[in-house]
Amino acid sequence: MFKCFTRKFKFNETQVPSDIREAFARFSNEGTNLMTPDQLLRFLVEFQGEIGAKIRDAERIIERIMQRRYHIHVMGKRNHAITVEDFHYYLFSDDLNSPIRSRVHQDMTAPLSHYFIYTGHNSYLTGNQLSSDCSDFPIIKALQRGVRVIELDVWPNPSKDDVYVLHGRTLTTPVPLIKCLRSIKEYAFTASPYPVVITLEDHLTPGLQAKVAEMVTQTFGEMLFYSESVCLEEFPSPEALMYRVILSTKPPKEYLETNISKEKGKDSCEEDAWGKEFSDLRDVLEAGDKTDGYSSEHNQDEEDIDDCDRRSRQLGAPEYKRLIAIHAKKYKGGLKESLKIDIDKVGRLSLSEQALGKATLHHGNNLVSDFIKLNWYMNSAAGVSDSRFTHKNLLRVYPKGTRFDSSNYNPLIGWMHGCQMVAFNMQGYGRSLWLMQGMFRSNGGCGYVKKPDFLMKEDQHNQLFDPKVKLLVKKTLKVRVYMGNGWQLDFSPTHFDSYSPPDFYAKIGIAGVPADVSMQKTNIILDDWAPVWDKEFRFPLTVPELALLRIEVHEYDLSEKDDFGGQTCLPVWELRPGIRAVPLFNHKGEKYRSVKLLVQFQFV
């Protein structure tokens, strides 16, 4: 009955797996049990597949091992070699032996619409959607993690002489817009040099729109990108927009711009910034730019408009509109008409997650096909060469309004259908957010990931990509999970179990198109802070370009819910073959200091 009390805490010394010893023996000097820089280079090239590795790379690895393990500085010396324990230490160091590439490597010269973009939703909220504080802190945190699209809901303050950021018609406490703008300026490029887009949900009077224009220009100065023309004909590339800030919202209606009335009827990008946006889910396909469960209708009585507002009819709104580089479009006659491509201008269209789901049903089995087909019929007579909506324009998807707890949805639904801006509540946590974080670990974590070619055009058989159709297997990913370590350093001895070491197991799987989704798990290793599973998994992949590798570690509990021991999500197309150190993260996506797995990746 008291057996559990006899189980003692012990920290077993990490053993080197047999595969690691065999690899070391294969590339080291027989008889000496040492590996020189030249031999380590052979291992990097032949076993790890690092074709471009040079002798200097191997020397740097040995230098760092000697510094960290023995506090010996060997820089410039080539007579040092490493033992099998040193070799194991190197393989288990994620900064020396990461599972994915750490630098930007994709072509960054295509238009913005050719990329998935790391996008936030209600970026100013610290918690739930109804009563949490509004602050610049979550904006700063998002930018530090590489988020490239920040959303701000802007409203008049109670005295209507300044601008607040808050979630309207809720109990959220406001934060001044200027504070948010200044924080964006300070932290915009700490994680990535590529452009930051600020999407505004505008509920302002004309006078306050003029004030926003002044705030934006004074805060960002030359960092601010805007077009000299009324609308962009094509989006610039991320490379062309490095270290620039871009404003995106619905431009003011023509009646606010009497001094440029000659343009009336010519600019289809213009729309009513005050217009009603439907919250009725039955009408979601006919809805405006954002439902979110709240009405954004803002009625302004004439007696409330002061002299400043009247002046802004001639002065403020045109300046405000001029600063809007990415025009938010609204539905005109339903989804079919809204997807119509303008030959000489580009813009942004938003759908709720519900609207996207309904669109996949109401417009055929393949939303991607419908985007192309609808636009082809509408624009072929006009001579448009590429008729796909998401080839030229930006499509944004955002969480439904009933997600009061700031939860999220499956981002792959948006990505599979070409949506560039899959907007997420970054202050939450959960598996959906882990997928989002995993996607944007790719391409050096710069916040822009090039969309696969099949989402941009037809294939060689003139077929359009349909995520529901099961295709032939392109490649199989083999994942061998050797072991894990580091929990004893990051957790207290009694965190998982009061009377014994933890009983860890790992879950390994794929998130992607329906045909590729799977989840498997290792056996449970009892009473060990450094579990050795040595288990191989095989994942046949039909669309590896959209596949994310999911890894979770849990501690088995017979009587209660299993304890969480860490997670990560990695883009399959970025995985480096060979034996790699895989760091784990907590519920919120924050990296543990020490916890990591030793995993081998192979593509066959």
Active site residues: 121, 167
Ramachandran angles phi, psi of 532, nearest 5°? -115, 110
Residue 602 is inside which H or E element, if any? strand 591-603
CA distances 10 to 85, 89, 159, 523, 564, Å, are: 21, 21, 65, 21, 21
Distance CA 403, CA 401 (A): 5
Q: Contact at 8 Å (CB) between 123 and 181?
A: no
- Could you give the CA distance from residue 479 to residue 374 in angstroms, rounded to a whole number? 42
The label of the residue with tokens 């404003």 reads: 247
| C-beta pairs of 104-107 under 8 Å, 24+ apart in sequence | 104/443, 104/444, 104/446, 105/443, 105/444, 106/443, 106/448, 106/449, 106/450, 107/450
Tokens 């009408």: give the residue: 283
Element (H, E) at 163: strand 163-165
Place of tokens 């000097």: 29
Using alpha carbons, select from 548, 580, 446 the residue that is nearest to residue 103: 446
Burial of 98-108, coded b for 16+ CB within 10 Å and e otherwise, reads: ebbeeebeeeb
Residue type, 352: S
